Structure 1
Amino acid sequence: MSSQFELAQNPTDVISAVTFSPYTPTRLLVSSWDKNVYLYDTQDGPGGKMIQKYEHPAPVLDVCFGRDDNEAFSCGLDWEVRRINLQSGEQTILSTHDQGVRSVIYAPKHRLLVSGSWDSTLHLHNVDQPGEFSTVQLESKPFSLSVSPTKLVVAMANRGVNIYELDALASATGKGGVVNVEPWQRRESSMKYMTRAVACMPNDAGYASSSIEGRVAVEWFDPSEESQKRKYAFKCHRQAVDGQDVVYPVHALAFHPVHGTFASGGGDGVVALWDGINKRRIRQYQRFPSSVSSLAFSGDGKYLAVGVSPGFEDGQDDIPEGAIKVFIRELADGEAQGKKK
């Protein structure tokens, strides 16, 4: 049986990210425009329990776990990349960008923390040597970052996608200053419109990306012609309103860690599950109260966290009561499984 509930203590402003701990499948971090990072135990009592919140000087745009359950990294509109000790609450600044920092992501095998800023740079941090970081110059603003076991995918404002090898990035961390790390591959987005999100397949084979124009593309890393022929894009997150096809941005993507299927979340308040290999939708959930801004599967694949907040697709700037929530869905056996061969 699958079941779904809403977290008892939600952020008070737009949710920028939800992310589960890779070590404990019930520990969840949520970052928000209300200048806080929240830590929850999603299974402690009905509605879960907020363990602690960590205040920042400005809206927080992203958060991730680090080397263990008690370490997190955050970034946001104060231009800074921070380490948070989740036990003591102590925050340490690891680096400062020249503009707001959109994304922060940790690659555990390489002990590598990467931040992506609207100043069109990446900062590479070796988490075992805090205070040292190197800068990689990008061609455009990075909108979304995702890591696979060996690669970092950077989706940029110019519709460019840079794919880096984590080995090359990790070896550049100790050099300091601006480093010249050439992407393993440079690609152009398969979609005509601006990229919203990118997510890597857990099996290291490729990635999915989504656009502001209700589309998702699936492609593979393997540069061979045969493999590149397999890439495709499809329409989703569209609703018929008064006989018109209304197209919504696809804000969020997340791959299931066990089955390799993926979830998409849109401005229409809908979450859908997809089998990317067999090109079919597995299921679509009932509409959430507002736009789906962020998605994350737990490390064991049993839970899906859905961050819901107004995406202002309707042109309304004020936030209605009850529009900001985090839902936790407990998946039934096989709920996220692809088509049997």
Structure 2
Amino acid sequence: MAYGKGTTTNSAANSHKDKEYVFPKGPEDTVSALRWSPVSNHLAAASWDGKVYIYDATNTTSSDTIKGVAAIPVGSPVLDCDFNKDGTIAVGASADKKLHLMDLKSSQTMTLEGHTSPVRTVRFVDVPSANAPIIASGSWDRTVRYWDMRQPQPIGVLELPERVYAMDTGGSLLAISTAENQLHFVNLHDNPLKLWKSIVPPIPLQTTAVSVTADGTRWAIGTIAGRAAAQVVDEKDLSLENLSFKCHREAIPNKRNVTDVYTINDVAWWPGHKDVFATAGSDGTFSIWDVRNRNRLRSFPKVSNSVTAINFTRDGTGMAYAMGYDWTKGHQHSKAGAETKIVMLRFETPLKEREVVVVKKKTNYW
């Protein structure tokens, strides 16, 4: 796949051309997470090289117009990142058991300590009773800890039955995926320190990624089994459908009925929409799916390495993805100099314009 200034990429599924921009060279190891600021075109990228990179993609007209504006120096692999709601603070979750924060206006940094194992995931969450911005961090120490940045110690601890592998939030909902394939939900507006509901996900193999819609009414997961699922939070909400489907798999040439299955590394809902979300996998592909019409809206050309993270821009007019080695095939397949790259796509035709003309049809995915 060729990259360059204003390069266009053609979707085989829909024959749409999108503008493609490569971010400046930064991460020297795999990117574990991408998060757009909720108020600007700033992107945070957490990397195994021990930093959180902050980029400014405002008024992008070529790859050269994307600028690196800051980097949070962590020193240990960073496994997740997020922005606060006004985009002035970025946070990284690190293997050193700490949270690392930077005020992007002053460049001042701080750390929060309390976990006893690596911190796998982090989100700024909406807790009205706190009267302050609150951070939730999920760790392999089997806890989610809540932090008020004005205090050095966590203000609350939620005990969990297993290690935290993935977490996301939207509205009043906090969704937490743990080891032993469990999915837990917390009502942040009621009691952040109590599990509201726990379920066994509809796919019987370990969940690797979870995403929640902006209003907190539904969630999506990806798994090691090359299957994704999307379900409503309130089972009484009949306006939305539940489903699980196969993706990120590839038929082996000359072997009938034999298929390679790839891990889903990330899932992300399209902003402000309950029917459209994206998946990214170890097969080097990513796709956008229409839940209601049970269709794949978009497929994108396969890249030269695994797609490790994806995130839609705040207005949904594009998305960023990261490519790099994700270690699903072990150390023996790690290659020196393997390509690690962050790319932004600007959709030529907005998704909301395309979705109204999608024809409902049966495919072999569902």
CA 29–92 in structure 1, closer or farther in 2 if over 3 Å, else same: same
Q: Which amino acid aligns with 1:2?
A: D
More displaced 10-residue stretch of structure 1: 33-42 or 47-56: 47-56
Query: Which residue number corresponds to residue 98 of structure 1?
Result: 116
Match of 1:215 among 212, 215, 227: 227
Identity of aligned residues (%): 25
Query: Which residue number corresponds to residue 263 of structure 2?
Result: 249
TM-score normalised to structure 2 length: 0.84
Query: Which residue number corresponds to residue 213 of structure 2?
Result: 201
In 2, the alpha carbon distance for the partners of 1:258 and 1:167 equals 20
Please give the secondary structure, in 2, of the residue aligned with 1:168: coil
Q: Which amino acid aligns with 2:346?
A: E
Q: Deviations over 1:266-296 (max 9, x none)?
A: 1001010001122211111001221111111
| 8 A Cα contact 1:198 1:210, kept in partner | yes
Please give the secondary structure, in 1, of the residue aligned with 2:189: helix
The number of equivalent residue pairs is 329
Structure-to-structure mapping, 1:35-184, within 5 angstroms? 35-43=50-58, 46-47=62-63, 48-108=66-126, 110=128, 111-127=133-149, 131-169=153-191, 181-184=193-196
More displaced 10-residue stretch of structure 1: 192-201 or 39-48: 39-48
Structural RMSD (CA): 2.2
Offset of 1:227 from its aligned partner? 5.1
Q: Deviations over 1:37-65 (max 9, x none)?
A: 11111245632111122211311111101
Q: Deviations over 1:309-335 (max 9, x none)?
A: 112334435344352100100112333
Query: Which residue number corresponds to residue 305 of structure 1?
Result: 320
In 2, the alpha carbon distance for the partners of 1:167 and 1:259 equals 22
What are structure 1's unaligned runs of at least 5 residues?
171-180
Offset of 1:340 from its aligned partner? 5.0
Please give the secondary structure, in 2, of the residue aligned with 1:167: coil
Please give the secondary structure, in 2, of the residue aligned with 1:37: strand
In 2, the alpha carbon distance for the partners of 1:130 and 1:22 equals 26
In 2, the alpha carbon distance for the partners of 1:169 and 1:122 equals 13
In 2, the alpha carbon distance for the partners of 1:14 and 1:250 equals 15
In 1, the alpha carbon distance for the partners of 2:350 and 2:307 equals 23
| 8 A Cα contact 1:81 1:96, kept in partner | no
Q: Deviations over 1:66-87 (max 9, x none)?
A: 1433211111111002221223
Q: Does 1:280 align with 2:292?
A: no
Q: Which amino acid aligns with 1:186?
A: S
Q: Deviations over 1:67-112 (max 9, x none)?
A: 4332111111110022212233322122320000000011256432
Offset of 1:23 from its aligned partner? 0.7
Offset of 1:249 from its aligned partner? 0.5
What are structure 2's unaligned runs of at least 5 residues?
1-16, 359-366
TM-score normalised to structure 1 length: 0.90
CA 192–83 in structure 1, closer or farther in 2 if over 3 Å, else same: same
More displaced 10-residue stretch of structure 1: 328-337 or 281-290: 328-337
In 1, the alpha carbon distance for the partners of 2:52 and 2:231 equals 33
In 1, the alpha carbon distance for the partners of 2:88 and 2:174 equals 24
| 8 A Cα contact 2:232 2:240, kept in partner | no
In 1, the alpha carbon distance for the partners of 2:176 and 2:155 equals 18
More displaced 10-residue stretch of structure 1: 109-118 or 31-40: 109-118
CA 281–84 in structure 1, closer or farther in 2 if over 3 Å, else same: same
Query: Which residue number corresponds to residue 323 of structure 1?
Result: 339
In 2, the alpha carbon distance for the partners of 1:245 and 1:197 equals 22
Query: Which residue number corresponds to residue 284 of structure 2?
Result: 269
